[in-house]
Structure 1
Amino acid sequence: MPVDPFRTAALRSAVLSAWSESPARFREDANAEEALATGGYADRLLIELAANALDAARDAGLPGHVRFSLDTSGPVAQLRAANVGAPLTAAGVSGLASLRASAKRSGSISVGHFGVGFTAVLTVSDAPQVVSTTGGVMFSRDRTAGAVTALGVAELTKELAARNGQAPALRLPWSMEMAALQADPLPAGFDAQVRLPLRPGRAGELEELLRAVGDDLLWALPGLFRVEIELPGLPLTTIERQDLNDGLTVITRDGVPTRYLAAGAAGTIPASLLADRPIEERAREQWQLTWVLPDPDDRPAAPLHLLELPPDAVPVFLGAPTPTDEPLSLPARLVGTFPVDDTRRRLAPGPLTAYLLDQAAAQYLELFTAVPPEHRLSLVPAAGFPLGPVDAALRTGIVRRLSRAPVLLAVLGDAVVPSSACVITGISDGAARLLGRAVPGLLLPPRTPAQLEALRVLGVALLPLADATSALAGIDGRPAFWHQVYEALADQNAEDLANLPVPLSGGGRRIGPAGTLLPGPDALDDDILRRAGTLAPELCVVHPDAAHPLLSRLGARPADAAALLSDPALIQLFRRFREDLEEDDPDPDELADLARLALDLVEAGGPAGGLLDDVVLTDSSGEAWPAGELLAPGASLAAVLASDADLPLMGSRWAVYPEQTLARLGVRTGLRIVAVENAEADLPDLQQWWSEVVGDSLPPETFEAVADLDLIDDEKWPQLLAMLAADRDTLRALTSGPDPSYTRWWIRRFALLGGEPPHRWRTSGALGLTGLYDELPVSLDGAVAQAIGVLGSTADALTADPSDLLARLADPEREVPAGAVPALTALAVQALEADGGLALPGSVRTLTGAVADAGDVMVLDLPWFAQLVSAGELVAGGREPVRVARALELDLVSEAITAQVVAGPTRSLSPPETAAAQRAALALGVDLAVLFGDRPLLVAPDLSVGTGPGSAQRVTWWGPDADDSDARGGARSSNGLRVDGSAAGIGRAVAFVAGRWSDRHLAVVAADGDLLDLAENGVQ
């Protein structure tokens, strides 16, 4: 007789009797089991088996231990789950065979208490078995179907047929034979085992599930401390849990540990919250919650993917305690004794759930503070839409608590409430720690956009960097501290750093680096800076220990000579000292200190101007003088100064400095250069020049001028001009700038050379002015001579002094070469026409170069009249004789003399005469045929011209009548043009018609000779 320790026969009899009496009950049980197997527990086989194992261990007071084995050695593959703990009892078997009637009814916390979890085995097996040290039971869908059929109840048979023979599997248990148990004993060390013969094709699926078992199983089932997985052909996999102090848990998988942080709590549920729960749940008044997070400091073993959830990450699910379908957007896993609805996949709405979620939010705060400060922001709920109502409730509660608690760590180490905290983006951690000394509640800057968003969620203020740097003014720090600040902020925008405090070498601070002076490789040596700081404590020299390149980017200048010479503090110091000279004797020590500082700054490369304009030195008797009023001993300028030039001699104590250094202070060593910015500069007659040259127009840009020109001896101007030409700076001042430059203007107007101003002399190259102007009696650089107005051409004479030009032309004492007279006459005409106010001279130069009375001369307008009138009676008319006659108020010779041509018989040119004409044309480069065209020259061998009765004078050629429109123009007219046949006549006629009258002598020579003659006279 078989042993039946669990009274399975009685259980079967009761169930079968119930089904017989009520076939509808059979249908209900079948549908309920099917619904659970395919719905609520369809994918929860391993967790449910582990949960039952954990409950058995708890009942025995043992740590949970389960081993999953996949056995594929037999004809039917099996999944087995062995556990330690309390053995199988009759009540337990009754619970397995009942729906929604668990044997676990105590008020203690247990995982399984619904009485339906075991139905998960039906997802893979139709004949599950439970073996224990007290015996074993088995369930079978086929044996149940056979037992139903054996009842002979028509309605049951019909219902079974309608279900295709699929009877409920777990309602009828059978005790297992002892022989079978002995043949297949429990694994050593275990007290019970669930054995699931698998349906065909399910082994591969189960192997994948077993391979995927991880740490989450131990977190879902608190109290489960060891899980073993045994797969065919593989070593045993072991997952163990060890709870340490301070909320740390280590889960080791095959010897590889993973550390977790856990924060949890337990308590008693208020009775009022259980009133609407099912009766059996009301006895379970204990609650328990745990938040789980991989330890951020366990980086090698614990990946931090849960700390930084990307937007597409799989949500973390909430366990109640077995997994539900409630998604959480939080980076930590929550496991707790939450009530679930009938699907076992969602939390049951109601006051109990709300209460527990509120407790969970409170415990999240504990988890948050357990995480190292540098990782806490990753635990802040992300902004955006929640994943569901449970997620929304948790996030709201968590954010509310986090924002009101001192959960953030300021850079100085104090805990701060988010509402009192602030953060600056874009700076380094080091910069934040430095700024934190001035900004209470300043946090380390966020490293990622997610961290910045987390700070916004908590209500942390975003502080502009400019506000933080301004706040630094409220703290004290050694210069080295400020250097650290500058280094930490070196990559920030300049506009955010404008108000940075800057420690100064003389003590104190300056707000804002702009305008400060920065020590460094390009700065002055420490001794000069020290002396400058002593004399002017308000001088803003950055303390050397604080100097940093950032300050230069923010407007600080290198503390070089140029910077100090232009610094307002020093400029004011020197200016005040010089102004005090007018009222009192200066302190000699202060004078020496200021003078040496200025001289050292100049030697260090400082430019002229700035404070150098106010430097005070002493003269040879020790009296204080502005440096610009002293004359250096042995100065080259001394040799050209006028005797009344009152320049005290500089004291010898300053002679230890180079002459160039002294000159840049203004000491008179040579010619002094002054920078001119306006009409108030210290230069003689500057305002007169400004009025004449600049006038009412905008002032010119700053330019340089040579000073002290009014101190030069009139006899020493040649030496002075030589000095000016030898110096590049003074020569530039003369030749550049506004036109004319002040220097050029003053020398032209006031300088004397040989007792005369420069424009009364000509250069040696101005041959056209020979005789009219004397050559400059001294040797002078050409550029200087031109700049100061020495005449270099006839055009210079016209622009320099037209009245003087006219006077010289009329001066009989001046001998002018005859060849220069036509050009000078034309120059005089230009002068008279340009200035109607010029006085007309009573004498004029004739073609001979001599001066004659204007009433005795005529303007030569037609060149052939020169054969009748002497050159001493003629004034050169040039190409515009009418214009000359009008300007000089003289008669034209053609109008003053009536000429009668006595030609006699005329003829055309003979061949020799034609050859002479061709030679003349060739010499002038013209074509004879084109020149005369159809109006050839006429030859009158006895050509004469009479000017009155009985008078006749032989001429070699004669032009057209005076009323010919082209005659007075002197070009290309042959109307009535006659020659006597001589080379002199032919050559002149060709030159006149060709418009080359100035080359008439060449034409005459060509007409008279042959090609050899032409070559000898330069005709090619």
Structure 2
Amino acid sequence: MTVDVFGTDALRGAVLEAWRASPTRLREDANTEEDHARGYYRDRVLVELAQNAADAATRAGVAGRLLLRVATTDEGTAVLVAANTGSPLDAAGVASMASLRASAKRDAGAGTVGRFGVGFAAVRAVADEVTVCSTSGAVRFSLADTREAVGRTAAQEAAQGRAALADEVRRRDGSLPALRLPWPTEGRPPSGYDTAVVLELRDAPALDEVRSLLSDVDDLLLLALPGLVEVLVDVEGEWPRRLADVHDRWDVLTAGGEVPLGVVADRPVEQRTARAWRVTWALPRVPEDAPGGTVPRVVHAPTPTDEPCSLPAVLVATLPLDPSRRHVVPGPLTDEVLARAGEAYAELVGRLAAAGQDAAALVPTGLAAGAIDAALREHALAALVRTPLLVPASPDDDLVPPLRATVVRDLSDGPAVTALGAVVAGLVRVPPSGTAALRALGVEERTLAEVVDELPTGGDVDWIALYDALDAAAQDATAREGLAALPVPLVDGRVVRGPRGVVLLDDDVAGLAPATLDALRSWGLRVADPAVVRPLLARLGAQRLDAAGLLAHPALRAAVLGQADDDDLEHADEVTAAVLDVVAAAGAVPPDAAVWLGLLTLDAADGEPAPAHGLVLPGGAAARLLDDRVLAPVAADAVERWGRDVLAAVGVRDDLVVTTVPDVVAGVADDDGDDPAALAAASLDGWEQYVADLADVLGPGTYCGDVAAVADLDAVDDACWPALLAHVAGTPALRAALVTPVRGEGAAATGPSYTAWWLRTRADLPVPEVFALPGARGLPAALVPPAPDLLHGLDATVLRALGGIGSLAEVPPDRWAVLLERLGPVGTRVPLDVAGHVWRAWARGAGPQEPPATVVALVGPGVAQVVDDAAVADDPRWWQRATSDVPVVPVPGADGSDAGAARTVADLLDLPLASDGTDADVGGGDPEEVPDALLALLPDAPTVWWRHDDLRIGGEPVDWWVQGAGADARMHAVHVAGLAAALAWATGRWASRGAVAALLGDPDDGDAALDLVIG
């Protein structure tokens, strides 16, 4: 006989009596059980059983162990056994299982999980027959027995005329609340366990559901129910599993306490005493994308709810739930627990960060997944900002709380950040993936420029390490901009901001005297401390200078130029010594620096100070050729101290030197200023007049580029001109400065070099402006004198630069006026050979730059004379009209083959053509036949000519005239000689007119005939 140890008979009687009295109560109980079994708890049978097991262990104060086993009975029924350790079943527990929302754990204290008294209803999702056997006894719940008992009661009621209960039972069609009627039974839990719940699985789908739930059992069950330390899963021996030692696989943090009484004031009566709160956070120690590392993104309270949680850890918290136990109930208690959960999460992240884990990956970012998640994230972030969790840039520093952290926006991680961390408090390292986390935490973001602006300029800073670390970052243009204000220690102990403008001295400057370095600093050079010179500084704009680079620095030029106004002789000597020290180290002087270095003050031999370019070195070519009253010898002790090469490099004349004036513009004399062009121009005598003359030749404003000039020509000893000219001609650089003409951009003409111009216009040498080159032919001395003895031995190229010509075609346009003046005043007879040279030169395009005041012209047959007005003969016909009243300039070669030659000469001389305004029509005359002997040799000649006794053109008598050309020409003549000229002109054989005349006199003249044939 089964013993009723838990008073189940009384419980059943009370329930049946209640249903008898109120069939509606049956309906309510049945609906409630069905709601829980098929709705709220449809997939939570294992979780609810595990929760009861955990609570039993907690109440007993023992380690909770749970066995979940699926087996098949001898009768072939599949059963689920859930056995656990802990407090055995008692009457209160049975009463709780048989009631709804009347938990026996109300006063169980902290640590228990069940609170509503409805979780056991989950068993009805898979079973209609349930047995709970414990070491204290056993009880069972049976849908079949409930149907039978309710059926009997309904039948009794119906017999007494009360059919309400029977009608309700009939309407429910057997769906009755099986858990409301407990029955005594017998049974023992498996060995080693205190209580076991045995479920006879309803059917195959129920078995499949249980199998699926068992396959999902994992560490989360132990994390959610800390009362359990072990879970054994055994499905008919197929894949037994043991879950234990969960803390070996998870980082877990648990916090707890008691909420203020006012927080639970709005909770249901039975829950107001449950003021204890508990929060557990768990994070897998394997990556989330690895097996076993997946974190369910829902809140656990303690079993899983439907509330999403976006934080990358498991949250188990004593949050109040609605009756479905799937949603958190809003209210003060929820707010309080979420706040504590946020603090606990920050504590866990801080602990993991201290262990070396990337805390940025644990910071919530992005959008919240719901209201609970949003509140939880808000509390977590509020606590995280005060938690030391960010990796400091300096490896020697402690973790930094976000509230005091700074990150460089342009430079999140790497050696540069590490180096900056040594001097910037709160600077943290952030991998690229952590940027969003830092923004969520409100970490101060600063640009690299802002961080650099606040770098200390004093104190113990390892500048070399800092520069080397920042060098890689400076490859990026944006980072270089951010480093613009980087502090740089100077050699004098100061620290300046910004490498731009700082000078990095090269190794060849290391030997400079300390006094020289002091002078450089006093002149405004910001010289970096050699101990901190690194490639980064040059990359950021610092100027790396060797000795030659120093010479090109504006500070040295300013110091030299300032000597002229310095009354402090001692200071001037210091400048000189420092500059010469730099020049000695450089070995060579940049071209731009050579000009202003010539202004460096040195002592002359007589002790007087003078600019370097105003002194000469004893024994050199300059000392031999230049007047020592103009350029004095330099002091002997200067030569002994610095050497000839150094002094020559700064402008002391050892030989004649070439000064180059850059960017010359014709007509613009930039000789007032301290730029290289102005300084170079100012050192050249007559420069302003020279560029003005260039403008006359090339045109004002013509760009001429760089012009090289031999300097100090105004200081030549008068007795040394022959030697100087020979020296210039024989020295390549000097020679080039003499013989190279100036070519203007876009100009067809060329101008003389400055050296040639100066020697021809300012040297006061006995050299004609134009003279004949030795060996030149066809240049009458009356027109072009020979080269003077002063120029004896010079080659033709040099002589040409000084005014020598080989023909009149070489006469420069601006020298024609001089040549014509040599022929004498108006009326002077000019020999025909001299006049012929002039006329041929004009016909070939040579001529004066401006129309001359006088010209050489024919004033009669064979008579040339200097005249001030004339006409240019169109062709040889017009030569006949030359008279003293109508002088004619003949144009050799203008015989019809070059119709434009006469017009070119007329334009050159600004004279009219002889044909202008002259009536050249000829009428009358007696026709005569051209001799056959001539026609045989001149087949293209006209066959008839017209004889005149008096032939005139424009009122002037002529010997012949031709109208037209070739066989159709009309020839006029007053005699046979005139006919010969007409025939030669008409047939285009003007040069052979003598042979034509000879044949007219003697048709058998063989030589004349041959001349015509081959001419």
Q: Give the TM-score, by structure 2 length.
A: 0.79
Q: Distance in 1 between matches of 2:638 and 2:346?
A: 82
Q: How far has the Cα of 1:502 moved from its partner?
A: 0.7
Q: Distance in 2 between matches of 1:314 and 1:894?
A: 113
User: Which residue, out of 292, 300, 311, partners 1:319?
Assistant: 300
Q: How far has the Cα of 1:673 moved from its partner?
A: 2.9
Are positions 1:974 and 2:981 aligned together?
no
Are positions 1:648 and 2:649 aligned together?
no
Q: Distance in 2 between matches of 1:825 and 1:101?
A: 136
Q: Which has the higher mean CA deviation after the structures are superposed, 588-597 or 99-108?
A: 588-597
Using a 3 Å threshold, how does the CA distance of structure 1 residues 1016 and 972 change in structure 2: closer, same or farther? closer
2:133: which partner in 1?
A: 131
User: Which residue, out of 837, 840, 844, partners 1:820?
Assistant: 837
Are positions 1:468 and 2:451 aligned together?
yes
Aligned residues: CA RMSD:
5.1
Q: How far has the Cα of 1:103 moved from its partner?
A: 1.9
Q: How far has the Cα of 1:820 moved from its partner?
A: 2.7
Are positions 1:722 and 2:729 aligned together?
yes
Q: Distance in 2 between matches of 1:193 and 1:698?
A: 113
2:890: which partner in 1?
A: 877
Q: How far has the Cα of 1:793 moved from its partner?
A: 5.5
Q: How far has the Cα of 1:108 moved from its partner?
A: 0.6
Q: Which has the higher mean CA deviation after the structures are superposed, 20-29 or 348-357?
A: 348-357
Q: Distance in 2 between matches of 1:1006 and 1:133?
A: 167
Q: Distance in 2 between matches of 1:356 and 1:885?
A: 111
1:992: which partner in 2?
A: 985
2:41: which partner in 1?
A: 41
Q: How far has the Cα of 1:329 moved from its partner?
A: 3.4
3-state secondary structure, aligned to 1:524: helix
Are positions 1:750 and 2:762 aligned together?
yes
Q: Distance in 2 between matches of 1:856 and 1:37?
A: 137
Q: Distance in 2 between matches of 1:104 and 1:586?
A: 101
Q: How far has the Cα of 1:344 moved from its partner?
A: 1.8
Using a 3 Å threshold, how does the CA distance of structure 1 residues 865 and 840 change in structure 2: closer, same or farther? closer
Q: Distance in 2 between matches of 1:685 and 1:390?
A: 94
Using a 3 Å threshold, how does the CA distance of structure 1 residues 68 and 688 change in structure 2: closer, same or farther? same
1:210: which partner in 2?
A: 214
3-state secondary structure, aligned to 2:527: coil
Does the CA-based 8 Å contact 1:840-1:888 persist in structure 2? no
Q: Which has the higher mean CA deviation after the structures are superposed, 642-651 or 465-474?
A: 642-651
- What is the one-letter code of the residue matched to 1:264? A
Does the CA-based 8 Å contact 1:98-1:115 persist in structure 2? yes
3-state secondary structure, aligned to 2:129: coil
2:60: which partner in 1?
A: 60
2:228: which partner in 1?
A: 224
Kindly report which structure 2 residues correspond to 1:284-295, keeping only aligned pairs within 5 A, or say none.
284-294=274-284
Are positions 1:801 and 2:784 aligned together?
no
1:98: which partner in 2?
A: 99
Does the CA-based 8 Å contact 2:81-2:197 persist in structure 1? yes
2:115: which partner in 1?
A: 113
Using a 3 Å threshold, how does the CA distance of structure 1 residues 813 and 528 change in structure 2: closer, same or farther? farther
- What is the one-letter code of the residue matched to 1:507? G
2:331: which partner in 1?
A: 350
User: Which residue, out of 596, 601, 612, partners 2:586?
Assistant: 601
1:140: which partner in 2?
A: 142
Does the CA-based 8 Å contact 2:350-2:387 persist in structure 1? no
Q: Distance in 1 between matches of 2:915 and 2:269?
A: 152
2:897: which partner in 1?
A: none
Does the CA-based 8 Å contact 1:617-1:625 persist in structure 2? yes
Q: Distance in 2 between matches of 1:123 and 1:716?
A: 128
Q: How far has the Cα of 1:778 moved from its partner?
A: 4.8
1:913: which partner in 2?
A: 934
Using a 3 Å threshold, how does the CA distance of structure 1 residues 818 and 356 change in structure 2: closer, same or farther? closer
- What is the one-letter code of the residue matched to 1:99? L
Q: Distance in 1 between matches of 2:724 and 2:1006?
A: 57
- What is the one-letter code of the residue matched to 1:238? R
Using a 3 Å threshold, how does the CA distance of structure 1 residues 857 and 494 change in structure 2: closer, same or farther? closer
- What is the one-letter code of the residue matched to 1:166? S
Q: Distance in 2 between matches of 1:544 and 1:164?
A: 101
Q: Distance in 2 between matches of 1:159 and 1:893?
A: 147
3-state secondary structure, aligned to 1:608: helix
2:667: which partner in 1?
A: none
Using a 3 Å threshold, how does the CA distance of structure 1 residues 885 and 579 change in structure 2: closer, same or farther? closer
Q: How far has the Cα of 1:453 moved from its partner?
A: 4.1
Does the CA-based 8 Å contact 1:316-1:333 persist in structure 2? yes
Q: Distance in 2 between matches of 1:1000 and 1:764?
A: 33
Kindly report which structure 2 residues correspond to 1:578-617, keeping only aligned pairs within 5 A, or say none.
584=569, 592=577, 594-603=579-588, 608-609=593-594, 612-617=597-602
- What is the one-letter code of the residue matched to 2:84? N
1:426: which partner in 2?
A: 410
Using a 3 Å threshold, how does the CA distance of structure 1 residues 658 and 1016 change in structure 2: closer, same or farther? farther
Q: How far has the Cα of 1:783 moved from its partner?
A: 6.0
2:272: which partner in 1?
A: 282
- What is the one-letter code of the residue matched to 1:974? A
- What is the one-letter code of the residue matched to 1:391? D
Q: How far has the Cα of 1:579 moved from its partner?
A: 5.5
User: Which residue, out of 944, 947, 968, partners 1:938?
Assistant: 944
Using a 3 Å threshold, how does the CA distance of structure 1 residues 802 and 327 change in structure 2: closer, same or farther? same
Per-residue Cα deviation, 1:836-871 (whole angstroms, up to 9, x for no partner)? xx5437x76789998657699999777469899999
Does the CA-based 8 Å contact 1:65-1:84 persist in structure 2? yes
Does the CA-based 8 Å contact 1:263-1:367 persist in structure 2? no
3-state secondary structure, aligned to 1:225: strand
Q: Distance in 2 between matches of 1:854 and 1:282?
A: 139
Does the CA-based 8 Å contact 1:619-1:650 persist in structure 2? yes
Aligned residue-pair number: 945
1:772: which partner in 2?
A: 783
2:679: which partner in 1?
A: none
Q: Give the TM-score, by structure 1 length.
A: 0.79
Per-residue Cα deviation, 1:97-137 (whole angstroms, up to 9, x for no partner)? 22212222215121112111112222233333333334444
Using a 3 Å threshold, how does the CA distance of structure 1 residues 809 and 893 change in structure 2: closer, same or farther? farther
1:922: which partner in 2?
A: none
Using a 3 Å threshold, how does the CA distance of structure 1 residues 649 and 30 change in structure 2: closer, same or farther? same
Q: Distance in 1 between matches of 2:1010 and 2:72?
A: 131
Per-residue Cα deviation, 1:929-953 (whole angstroms, up to 9, x for no partner)? xxx7xxx34268xx786799xxxx9
Q: Distance in 1 between matches of 2:179 and 2:410?
A: 65
Q: Distance in 2 between matches of 1:60 and 1:856?
A: 145
- What is the one-letter code of the residue matched to 2:820? L
3-state secondary structure, aligned to 1:345: coil
3-state secondary structure, aligned to 2:971: coil
Q: Distance in 2 between matches of 1:855 and 1:544?
A: 80
User: Which residue, out of 520, 535, 547, partners 1:549?
Assistant: 535
Q: Distance in 1 between matches of 2:908 and 2:375?
A: 115
3-state secondary structure, aligned to 1:558: strand
Using a 3 Å threshold, how does the CA distance of structure 1 residues 326 and 482 change in structure 2: closer, same or farther? closer
Per-residue Cα deviation, 1:873-913 (whole angstroms, up to 9, x for no partner)? 996522488987997999989999x9999987622663x53
1:447: which partner in 2?
A: 431
Using a 3 Å threshold, how does the CA distance of structure 1 residues 347 and 514 change in structure 2: closer, same or farther? same
Are positions 1:266 and 2:257 aligned together?
yes
Does the CA-based 8 Å contact 1:438-1:475 persist in structure 2? no
Q: Distance in 2 between matches of 1:856 and 1:407?
A: 107
Does the CA-based 8 Å contact 1:671-1:724 persist in structure 2? no
Q: Which has the higher mean CA deviation after the structures are superposed, 66-75 or 800-809?
A: 66-75
- What is the one-letter code of the residue matched to 1:346? H
Using a 3 Å threshold, how does the CA distance of structure 1 residues 899 and 554 change in structure 2: closer, same or farther? closer
Q: Distance in 2 between matches of 1:190 and 1:869?
A: 155
